[in-house]
Amino acid sequence: MTDQTDLEQRAVNVIRGLAMDGPEAARSGHQGTAMALAPLAHVLWTRVMNYDASEPDWPDRDRFVLSAGHASILLYSMLHLTGFGLTVDDLRHFRQWGSLTPGHPEAGHTVGVEVTTGPLGQGVANGVGLGLAERVLRARFGPELVDHHTFVICGDGDLEEGISHEAASLAGHLGLGRLVYVYDDNHVSIDGPTELALSDDAVGRFEAYGWDVDDLGEAANDLDVLEAALERAKSITDKPSLIVLRSHIGYPSPKFTDNPKAHGNPFDAAEIRRTKEVMGLPPDEDFFVPADVLELYRAAGARGAVAREAWQGRFERWTGDREAWTAGWAGTGVEGWDAKLPHFEPGGELATRQASAKVLNALVDVVPGLIVGSADLTGNTGVLLDDGETQAPDTPGGRQIHYGIREHAMAGTMNGIAKHGGLLPVGGTFFVFSDYARPSVRLAALEQAHVIYSFTHDSVGVGEDGPTHQPVEHLASLRAMPGLRVIRPADANETAAAWKLAVEHQGPTALVLSRQNLPVLEGTDDHAAVAQGAYVLAETGGTDGADPDVILIGTGSEVSLCVDAAALLAADGTRVRVVSMPCWELFDEQTGRVQEDVLPSEVPTLAVEAGASFGWDRWADDTVSIDRFGASAPAKVVFEHLGLNPQNVAQRAQDLLADLSPDLA
């Protein structure tokens, strides 16, 4: 071996040592996969990827995704060694409270982590989003500013999860080049050999998707073969690439190589010592990184500064649309963009999904990062761009994405697009099918990905399609998710305000929109009031400034129902306040004074919503709600039978008053 090869082999072994020491210190974690993939990580970070550790957010860096996020110690080791700021102490505190090295990689928490992974298959879809964003931005702004690659490491578990099928099929259909996946084919899962449950032909499968596939066989420890395969895959620009790598989990442990137990944390101190002896590392020294190995990696981490500085020079000389570039990377609109938000005159009727479509098309030219798609429901969900070019290989800058019937991959891809930067993804499907997207929605909330969901057909108002298509528990379910804003606008003007909030918010927003027409109400065009999350829409039954006898809270289509019920109550002399509450999360952020001004604690309150009552006890004394599945019938008939009508709401308000304030009943 040459000196350089010897140094590189020692460097690989250092990674393997760290991969054992981190989980051992935590008494928790996954050592075996990280050990097996140490040569691959070495080649990626020292020979292949283009990055600058001193400027981890450089827009034209290569992106790396560890879809097999349980092997996080591998990524943390590389971020430490190449100079991203992680220290040896960070590795020592692997999986501990408050550390920068949590059990699975978290974007926004650890510098150098591009996307949050761990739930298997997610990184496969995220990588598609990262690659798609690169293609769109390269087409729009030119290769002198956007010219990079996306690398993804995935394993058997990733490819068994259904999201991998959806995402890989989409990537193949779109012909996404510059997208390089390495499949760690180690034949091991938690239960035992993968042959217990898996007999797929991965090569044939991905070739059928339209990918370029390179089966390397037994090359997991051959640095030159790995480099050649990765460089070849980088050169492919018309389809995604899959490199199949037969690795051996736990290598070179004498006891746990190819042992399913190596998926977890079986390495005790004695086995770590024996394995270090095999590799020529000091057997009794943990987190060992000799000076020459650290110098090798720090040089690799700094090497990209030359390319970054050259890019910065090109950017400074660039004469393209800087306003669009800046707005896109900020995830917002150009200066004054919100003046384009349409206003809707009270008295008309319009479904909020249709109002949303009008708002979206009004904004598409002034929010340059918008990229819009749906799961085969483009017109239905209000995400059809009037003049939108379809995203395809021959139209790489297209802003209209047809995700097909792939809700899970759509949401996972959107996360990748958002975390890439430069684009603001919007994705639509029926609200009931948010169930199919939910794992990716949850990760968007965890990593605060700036994405916008257009969830339409929001209630039993779907009508004849019946309970399979009528969401009931979904509002409560998504409201329970930390970090996700759920906005259910009452009418067209609240929809415009909701879009303003969604664009300005740097996290995920779910717009929950109606299928059926809703009246455009008086007083809903106050964007500042909507931004409170809840506000007083109307006071009826008295002009003396006295407190209301009862408050009706509505969301979405039920706000107009509350207005009609309030009129019935007012006719009987009851003072009624109608509150529109489009967003629980925003109202929860308000001061106690604001909350008390809108919902005085001493006034009986009835919430009205075409969904489950779960959670409403926080804001209301009682609810008119739906704690059962719906039924197949015209929407008006379903609403009537389920008690969502003005007469029943008025009666329930009277009953509440009788229970809580007998003297007012």
Per-residue pLDDT reduced to its tens digit, 575-591 = 999 999 999 999 999 99
Where does residue 270 fall: left (phi above 0), alpha (psi -120 to 50 degrees), or beta otherwise?
alpha
The per-residue pLDDT for 665 is 47
In this structure, are strands 622-624 and 605-608 parallel, antiparallel, or unpaired? parallel
Please state which CATH class domain 3-308 belongs to. alpha beta
| Residues of each domain in the chain carrying CATH 3.40.50.970 | 3-308, 330-519
Catalytic residue IDs? 407
Mean pLDDT confidence for 545-560: 94
**Mean pLDDT score, 497-522:** 98
**What are 27's two structure tokens?**
């008494």
- CATH numeric code, 330-519: 3.40.50.970
The answer to whether the beta carbons of residues 515 and 457 sit under 8 Å apart is yes
The answer to whether residue 663 scores a pLDDT higher than 60 is: no
CB count within 10 Å of CB 171 equals: 28
Return the pLDDT at 264: 87
Average pLDDT on 506-518 reads 98
| pLDDT value of position 309 | 98
How large a percentage of the chain has pLDDT more than 90? Answer: 97
Output the pLDDT for position 23: 97
**Are the CB atoms for 15 and 275 separated by under 8 Å?**
no
pLDDT digits (tens, 9 = 90+) for 569-578: 999 999 999 9
Query: Looking at this protein, which amino acid is placed at residue 531?
Result: A
Give φ, ψ of 634 to 5 degrees.
-55, 145
- Evaluate if residue 272 carries a pLDDT over 50: yes
Q: With cut-offs at 50, 70 and 90, classify the pLDDT of residue 435.
A: very high
Q: Please say if the pLDDT value at position 180 is more than 80.
A: yes
Predicted confidence (pLDDT) at residue 39 exceeds the cutoff of 90: yes
User: How much is the mean pLDDT over the chain?
Assistant: 96
Asked if the model's pLDDT at residue 654 lies above 70, the reply is yes
pTM for the full predicted model: 0.97
Question: Are 380 and 481 a contacting pair, CB within 8 Å?
Answer: no
> Across residues 178-197, what is the average pLDDT?
95
483: left (phi over 0), alpha (psi -120 to 50) or beta: left
pLDDT, tens digit (0-9, with 9 covering 90-100), for 115-154: 999 999 999 999 999 999 999 999 999 999 999 999 999 9
User: Rounded to an integer, what distance in angstroms lies between the CA atom of residue 82 and that of residue 561?
Assistant: 60
Task: Say yes or no to pLDDT of 363 above 70.
Answer: yes
The string of DSSP letters for 568-609 reads HHHHTT--EEEEE-S-HHHHHTS-HHHHHHHS-TTS-EEEE-
**Rounded distance between C-alpha atoms, residue 322 and residue 309, angstroms:** 19
Q: Which two tokens stand for residue 246?
A: 């037969």
Q: What is the pLDDT of residues 206-248, one digit of tens each?
A: 999 999 999 999 999 999 999 999 999 999 999 999 999 999 9
pLDDT bucket at 265, cuts 50 / 70 / 90 = confident
Q: Could you give the residue range(s) of every CATH 3.40.50.920 domain in the chain?
A: 534-660
Strand order in the sheet with 605-608: 535-540, 576-580, 550-554, 605-608, 622-624
Q: Is 1's pLDDT higher than 70?
A: no
CATH code at 534-660 = 3.40.50.920
- Angle separating helix axes 122-141 and 322-330, nearest 10 degrees: 160
For 265-270, what is the mean pLDDT? 90
- pLDDT tens for 71-104 read 999 999 999 999 999 999 999 999 999 999 999 9
